[in-house]
Amino acid sequence: MPNYSLSYPKVRKDSYDNYFIDFNLNYKRYRLFNGKRINSSLAPNSYPTKLRRSKAVLLADEVYRYLVSNNYSFTKPLTTIVLFDSLIEAKLKEPLSVSYIKTLTLLSCCLREELIYKGSISIRFLHSIPLKYANNTSYNTARRHLNVLVNYLADNGFTIERMTLKTRKQTETLHKPISDVKGLLDEVYKFNKNLHLCCLLTYCCLLRPHQEIRRLKWGDFNTDLSLIRLSGDKVKSKRNRLVPVPHIVRSYLRKSDENYNIFTGTEKPYNSGYFKTLFKRFKRSNKSVDDSITLYSFRHSGAIEIFKRTGSITKLQKAMGHSSINVSLTYLRGLEIAELKEEDMPMV
């Protein structure tokens, strides 16, 4: 059985003496009184009665030729660039972070320029994008982001060859914990109260500072401020989170309107780089703070504390809000946690 079927249109007349063409396309019956479906201005019934049949015959021929030349469809196939643009637009409408959207947008612009210039996107061009990076981490990051776009395009009918580049081995970075958390928090408190509360929530509640904490509203807390409830659209893992709030954190909280941000006192939060900039200024004014310490160092230190107390990877996963235990295991490898003790080592 053929993939497509089309019967030649027959000219017919209804009870009102109006002419139309009747045919089957891919096992579906069509009755057309004019050529609008094929962007034709031909309308047989707009002519004098004696000319209508001949015009209907002409319409039948036009429709038949159009369908045969258009792959047996009334819908015109999208041009390559139009299809590319529509797919990229759909991808960027997904619930992605602002920074991730910027990254994918830059890559898609690069691919679009190549498509316009060459008429296609070759595998050689795709490979050239990550291969320009000598640093393995940068290479892997570019490769990963590019794969997201290429696979999405290929999965949705765009002609493009999938990439075959493999990941490169990266040197793991050791995230050093803060040696004196309380002392550092005291110094931060003297510098800026908002930054201090952010650091405290990062350490005690293991929330991510730049998005989860920055956008916190009083409505995210329960009545006595002992629990934070975050819906999936507010966290990286896209899963709902329930986070206990220790007493030390509650002592710095003064509840206000549930629609207000806990830092700004308005419905609008600070910009995404607010706490990052504040912490940089704090470090500039406190030269004793190790340059490797960042806001995330408080989260790393909190993770170490939980794992040392419980020894449970599943509890750590829940506390950190990781999407899977594998993520938590990968995270632990970057922390300064001794997996072997002296007594575990071979003895002579």
State pLDDT tens for residues 237-284: 667 788 899 999 999 999 999 999 999 999 999 998 999 999 999 999
Spatial separation of the C-alpha atoms in residues 35 and 333, rounded to whole Å: 67
User: What is the model's pLDDT at position 320?
Assistant: 80
- Whether 300 has a pLDDT exceeding 90, the answer reads no
Q: Is 123 exposed, middle or buried (0-12, 13-18, 19+ CB in 10 A)?
A: middle
**Of 159, 152, 176, 78, which is closest to residue 122 (Cα–Cα)?**
159
CA distance 25 to 31: 11
pLDDT at residue number 109: 95
Predicted local confidence at residue 315, as pLDDT: 83
Q: Which pLDDT score, from 0 to 100, does residue 340 have?
A: 40
Q: How far is CA 153 from CA 75, 159, 285, in A?
A: 21, 8, 49
What would the two tokens of residue 28 be?
């579906």
Tell me the pLDDT band of 1, cut-offs 50, 70 and 90.
very low
Mean pLDDT within 97-123: 93
Q: Residue 34 above 70 pLDDT? A: yes
Q: Band of the pLDDT at 231, cuts 50, 70, 90?
A: confident
Question: What is the distance between the alpha carbons of residues 259 and 218, in angstroms, rounded to a whole number?
Answer: 7
Interacting residues of 156 by C-beta distance below 8 A, sequence separation 6+: 87, 90
Is the separation of the CB atoms in 161 and 196 below 8 Å?
no
Q: What per-residue confidence (pLDDT) applies to 338?
A: 52
Where is pLDDT greater, at 152 or 237? 152
Query: For the residues 113-142, what does the mean pLDDT come to?
Result: 93
The predicted structure's pLDDT at residue 149? 97
Average pLDDT over residues 125-150: 95
What percentage of the chain exceeds 70 in pLDDT?
A: 89
Nearest-angstrom CA–CA distance, 46 and 36: 14
What pLDDT shows up at residue 154? 95
Task: Give yes or no for residue 348 having a pLDDT over 60.
Answer: no
The mean pLDDT value of the chain amounts to 88
What's the pLDDT at 341? Answer: 46
Strand boundaries in 76-200, DSSP class E: none
User: Could you give the angle at the alpha carbon of 259 between the alpha carbons of 253 and 260, nearest 5°?
Assistant: 50
Q: Check: CB of residue 262 under 8 Å from CB of residue 216.
A: yes
Is residue 149 within 8 Å of 91, Cβ to Cβ?
yes
In a 3-state reduction of DSSP, which class is residue 204?
A: helix
What pLDDT does 235 receive?
Answer: 67
Q: For 338, how many CA atoms within 13 A lie in the half-sphere containing its CB? A: 6
Q: What value does the mean pLDDT take over residues 311-323?
A: 81
Amino acid at 80: T
Phi, psi for 171 (deg, rounded to 5): -80, 120
0.75 surpassed by pTM: no
Cα(200)–Cα(181) distance, integer angstroms: 10
β partners of residue 12: 20
Per-residue pLDDT at 345 exceeds 50: no
Contact 163, 146 (CB under 8 A): yes
Instruction: Give the pLDDT mean for 181-208.
Output: 95
In this predicted structure, the answer to whether residue 93 has a pLDDT above a threshold of 70 is: yes
| pLDDT tops 60 at residue 162 | yes
The rounded distance, in Å, linking the Cα atoms of 238 and 212 is 12
Region 122-127 average pLDDT = 96
